[in-house]
A and B are shown apart, each in its own frame.
Chain A
Amino acid sequence: MPKSLISIHDFSKEEILHILDIASEMEKNKSQKILDGKVVACLFFEPSTRTRLSFETAANRLGARVIGFSDVGNTSISKGESFKDTIKMVSNYVDMIIMRHPLEGAARYATEVCDLPIVNAGDGANQHPSQTLLDLYTIRQTQGSLQNMTINMVGDLKYGRTVHSLLQAMSHFEPKFIFTAPYELQLPSEYQTFLTEKGIEYTETQSLTEYLDVCDILYMTRVQQERFNDPMEYEKVKDVYRLNAKMLTNVRKNMKILHPLPRINEIALDVDDTPYAYYFKQAENGMYVRMAIIAYLLGYN
């Protein structure tokens, strides 16, 4: 079976660093026709314009051609074709499948029904490993290393899959964590157990300002209303987790703010003009990392 990227757990520390190294090569040279003649399928069983454009641009910049669909509205899937049949059919045409699907485990299953490398561009609430790799890439880019970082994760730590994947991936690099979340959205105990077993230090707080000045990375996430059982609870916390430029007066000079985007109102617009804002560059980095993933899985070293 060829190597696929389904879950961040599929990659060792060395492989992760190797992909980040390829990504920085890609950033230096944004158009490399190393995949000339290859065809890549982007199958989006659930729409996600941002992720799809990032992957498609990445494939194009490597010289590959892209086929696929951006939602299932007009396809045979909406007429009841089984997922397996769709994957089998497409796999006859292309060299790689990049897919997003609302059901969890769909990408893993795809690796079992065809012999192509599969890239999971999101399977429901489960995994979105290219996001994790681009987060790692961005942390390394801003801090010069991934080792010994203090990372303050803010917002929805209960359901946020980017947070869970990132903390697991960072566990290779001896980090310290601060988890800033309203009571209802605190980090699930299984991840706390995971960190304890790995001997990784962490602190929890409900106050956004409490540990703002002692972190290297401030990783903001959306606090979505639909996550709350009680709408009053949401009203109480939604402005509490709103970062603005005034709060940043005493932060570390090297501190950078990341956000998987799109933001709702967690980061006020005045933060964009501070030297700490890095989320737009982070989104751009997504393309270099996706170039690296595609190239690596198609045999480029």
Chain B
Amino acid sequence: MTKDKTLIVNAIENGTVLDHIPSEYLFKVVDILNLASTSNQITIGSNLVSKSFGSKGIIKIADRYFEDQEINCIALVAPNATINIIKDYQVIEKRKISIPEEVVAVAKCANPLCITNHQVISTRFKTIVDNDKIYLLCHYCEKTTKILNLQPLN
């Protein structure tokens, strides 16, 4: 009997495949892209074996394409992720992502006294890369938030 790998590698006709996401950040990526609230067909695979990567996650979203600005935000947790654009079951484009300079409306500020946590304000951060660690500097309260504290907006 052949092992049933089809569920995982099941191809999508049109859409976006996000591959090589570290398993531990898979659901952060789901949050950052706010996938929980879309009605598109989504397949999420976690703890898959990757030759070069150890354990990886993969997300396939049917009939959805992302702006660079949206997709770049996943570089905050998954800088090595690959983005495959699928049309008619074919990868027509492989996109690289890069750490964005500004992160708008995808994270909450970790400072409980920040105005953005008390009024309806879209958050804005500058990204700071220091010794391979990425921090977010809040445009409002001027405090830094660690990437691990990234949480989706409500």
Contact = CB atoms under 8 A, between A and B. Distances in A.
Interface string A96-135: 0000011111101100000000000001111100000000
A196 to B, nearest CB: 13
Contacts of B118: 103
Contacts of B116: 105
B111 interface: yes
B8 interface: no
B53 interface: no
B141 interface: yes
A10 B21 CA distance: 38
Contacts of B7: none
Contacts of A84: 119
Given A83-B119, A109-B119, A109-B121, A102 B139 contact: no
A123 B142 CA distance: 11
Nearest to A9: B142
Provide the main secondary structure of the chain B interface.
Answer: loop
A152 interface: no
B134 to A, nearest CB: 15
B141 A104 contact: yes
A221 interface: no
B122 to A, nearest CB: 10
A109 B121 CA distance: 9
Contact of B113 (A82, A125, A127): A125
A91 interface: no
A82 B119 contact: yes
Interface in B14-65: none
B138 interface: yes
Interface residues of B, number: 16
A83 B115 contact: yes
Contacts of A51: none
B119 A104 contact: no
How many residues of A sit at the interface, in one of the four size bands?
10 to 19
B143 A104 contact: yes
Contacts of A7: 142
B130 to A, nearest CB: 8
A106 B142 CA distance: 11
A106 B139 CA distance: 11
Contacts of B115: 83, 101, 103-106, 108-109, 123
A226 to B, nearest CB: 15
Contacts of A105: 114-116, 138-142
Contacts of B121: 109
Contacts of B114: 103-105
Interface centre among A82, A84, A101, A104 (most CB of B within 10 A): A104
A124 B119 contact: no
Contacts of A190: 144
Nearest to B139: A108
Contacts of A125: 113
A51 to B, nearest CB: 19
B40 to A, nearest CB: 33
A103 B113 contact: yes
B103 to A, nearest CB: 16
Contacts of A83: 115, 119
B79 to A, nearest CB: 23
B142 to A, nearest CB: 6
Given A82-B119, A109-B121, A104 B111 contact: yes
9 contacts: A102-B113, A103-B118, A104-B113, A105-B114, A105-B138, A108-B139, A108-B140, A109-B140, A123-B141
Which 5 A-B pairs have CB atoms at the shortest separation, nearest pair first? Answer: A105-B140, A104-B141, A105-B141, A105-B115, A103-B115
